[in-house]
Amino acid sequence: MTLGISQERLGQALGLTFQQVQKYEKGTNRIGASRLHHIAQILQVPETFLFEGAPLTGHQASNGDAHSPAYISDFVSSLDGQALIKAFARIKGRNVRRSIVALIDQIGGSERAEP
């Protein structure tokens, strides 16, 4: 409403019905990071605009707990997270991907067990 775009118009741009957009808006259905990014592009706003006024949850409330689902969701929603995921997905070799995960775990000080 703030941007003057109807649910119907947003739904058309996303290839959805306005009822599906309503379910996202009300929180009835969860919204993935890629769809959230697409919505922000359509509205021509940064993703953070879509969270203005939202209650503090996850890492915001717990000073950045790296194990919380909200922390992971926020990272995946970020430009860095999206770039990392896209680049990682282009790597074809399974062993190379595992080596990269192991390297990042080591750099980040993770206590993750070997697969």
2 and 55 fall within a common domain: yes
- Let me know if residue 33 belongs to a domain: yes
Domain co-membership, 2 together with 56: yes
The per-residue pLDDT string of the chain (115 residues; one tens digit each, 9 = 90 and over) reads: 667 788 899 999 999 998 998 888 888 888 888 898 898 888 888 887 777 666 655 544 444 455 556 677 777 778 888 888 888 888 998 899 899 988 988 888 765 555 5
Give the pLDDT score at 15. 92
* 59 in the same domain as 17: yes
Q: What local confidence, expressed as pLDDT, does residue 61 receive?
A: 47
Angle at 42 between CA 74 and CA 21, to 5 degrees: 75
Q: Which domain holds residue 26?
A: 1-64
- Residue 57 shares a structural domain with residue 95: no
Query: Is the same domain home to 53 and 4?
Result: yes
Number of domains in the chain: 2
CA atoms within 13 A on the CB side of 17: 3
